[in-house]
Amino acid sequence: MMRHLFFIVFILSTLCGFAQDEYWFYLRTKDTATLNFKVEGDLLKYVGEDKILKETLAKEKIKTFKKTLRKAKIRDLNRTYFVVANNANLHTKLLKDTPNIFISGEPILGEDKKIYEPNDYGLTSTIGENIGMQANLDYLDVLGLPEAWYYTTGSRDVPIGISDGQVNPNDIDFQGKTTLFNRSHYAGGHGVNIAANAAAQGDNGVGFTGVCFDCSIYGTSYGQFYNYSEVVGLAKAGARVINCSWVSTRYIENGQKVMDSLFNEGVIVVAAAGNRDFSKTKGKVYSYPASYRHVISVSSGMYRHEKPLDNILQLEDGTYYTSNLRGSVGRTMGFPKNDTLQTPFVYEVSTAILNTEVDILAPTSELIMFQEFINKGEVAHHQFETTSGATPLVSGTIGLMFSLYPCLTAEEVEPILKITALNIDDVPGNKKFAGLYGAGLLQTGKAIKLLHDLKNENETAYIENQNFNRWDFTAVGVSKEIVVRNQVFQENANLDIESKNRIRIGTNTVLKPNQNGKIKLRINPDLENECNLRTRKNK
């Protein structure tokens, strides 16, 4: 006799069976009470008390009905469900027949279903099992990691270099993938957190997952600011992307020569911009190696809340403020005259270093502190705006890029990251810092999709939704078409697109560089990929 297993939160390990008639959607309930189901074969059966809901669901084939933090604003926490069923109209039927339970919902369609989640993705999991660390990894959602993992989860032959504090190759998410070259000190677990953000092993049912979770890790020490011997050593060992979450404020000419040499050899160095806030720096302080030419400089950006009013907080003295507004350069924001209906301003003390050499922002506040899990078994989140944690999110993204298309040139990497970054020019409070926060907030999912589409003859690649007045942009694609739309390249921006087939300039596009910029659009029918795309499904 089959033993029925009762679950409060349940998802099948694989979504199979009626895949062609499989419909996904979100539902939100009136309260936080949990809807109970039991497993019967490959399906779920509702075993709760509501008679109308029981009658409705008895006629349906339900594969997944689980709580998730995905797409859940503060008011919807613990009230949002991810559902997989064989009826495309089930969510509207439930909203109509059981308004006492469900208050809103929407289908998940088309491109939004092109995702992959490992089984240790945390509390925002939908199609993943979530049997690892029970942690909120919503910053990876905002970066679009499930969309990126649809194409690639990384590759063991793409090592991410970590020049930092000690990494233990025997730690739970570093086992079997970590090689150490130089001994380093523990540094309070700094190196552990950096390596985990970049490449903690995913889909192993324990811990949590890094960005490029199937990439390997090359670890070494840090601090040689003259010749960067540790960084050079990682490059010689085969690392094409190297993370440096440490800073010096001293420019050394030989350091620039080292970075130029590494870039010319096809190696990308990604470095933290530094943590000193704007009230002290006023955008005039530069850190190294981040501010050297041919280094990607990463500063801190916020990610969680879409609007200031989504997260209104109050100090004991009655002062209102908001925090972690998506795209803001500061962790906290205040309101003129303490009026929450006015446009908020960024508290300068809640920023990290911002300057003209910053290339891109990535999340920092609320990142998982992996060393706390390793040492104490606790789930802890970092509370402040430090660039150390942001930097490996970019390094991991580049690891995914090299894994997907191993022949990607160094010249193509940074343009893809910047073109696909979330433009944050219009985020409340950011105008004051214009020109100092790079291209915006990292979007890993969009970066990987653009790379995939550029290198795939069956796809159309889109360059869109940005506004650039500087930097050099190179795009090389064999796609059936490269479309530039809702895009601005002006003033000192340089754009060089080489396409095998067609380049189309779409609506709301401005191509007006000055005498220091240039637009070069080329059709080369003989253009071919240097190697094949390596997608997750083709591994």
Cα-based torsion angle of the residue sequence 411, 413, 417, 418 in order, rounded to the nearest 10 degrees = 0
Please state, in angstroms and rounded to a whole number, the distance separating the CA atoms of residues 392 and 467.
25
CA distances from 429 to 127, 331, 347, 386 (A): 36, 11, 9, 19
Please state, in angstroms and rounded to a whole number, the distance separating the CA atoms of residues 130 and 200.
15
Assess whether 164 carries a catalytic annotation. Answer: yes
Of 417, 449, 450, 405, the C-alpha closest to 155 is 405
Please confirm whether the linkage preceding 289 is cis (ω < 30° from 0): yes
Q: Is the dihedral of CA 18, 21, 22, 26 positive or negative?
A: negative
Residue-wise burial string across 453-473, b where 16 or more C-beta atoms lie within 10 A, e elsewhere: bbbbeebbbbbbbbbbebbbb
Q: Please give the structure tokens belonging to residue 73.
A: 């604003």
Please state, in angstroms and rounded to a whole number, the distance separating the CA atoms of residues 320 and 337.
10
Rounded to 10 deg, the angle between the 387-404 and 410-420 helix axes is 120
Instruction: Point out the catalytic residue in the list 138, 164, 203, 214.
Output: 164
Tracing tokens 């925090």 back to the chain, one arrives at 323
Please state, in angstroms and rounded to a whole number, the distance separating the CA atoms of residues 134 and 131.
8
Please state, in angstroms and rounded to a whole number, the distance separating the CA atoms of residues 411 and 195.
25
Assess whether 190 carries a catalytic annotation. Answer: yes
Instruction: Point out the catalytic residue in the list 190, 294, 305, 452.
Output: 190
Please state, in angstroms and rounded to a whole number, the distance separating the CA atoms of residues 295 and 273.
10
Tracing tokens 């086992």 back to the chain, one arrives at 175
Tracing tokens 């499989």 back to the chain, one arrives at 22
Grouping H, G, I as helix, E, B as strand and the rest as coil, residue 494 is strand
Please state, in angstroms and rounded to a whole number, the distance separating the CA atoms of residues 257 and 239.
19
Of 111, 22, 25, the C-alpha closest to 65 is 25
**Residues β-bridged to residue 475:** 497
* Backbone torsion region of residue 144, taken as left when φ is above 0, otherwise alpha when ψ lies between -120 and 50, otherwise beta: left
Instruction: Point out the catalytic residue in the list 216, 328, 350, 388.
Output: 388
Whether 235 contacts 227, CB under 8 Å: no
* Pairing mode, strands 312-314 and 320-323: antiparallel
User: Which residues are identified as catalytic?
Assistant: 164, 190, 388
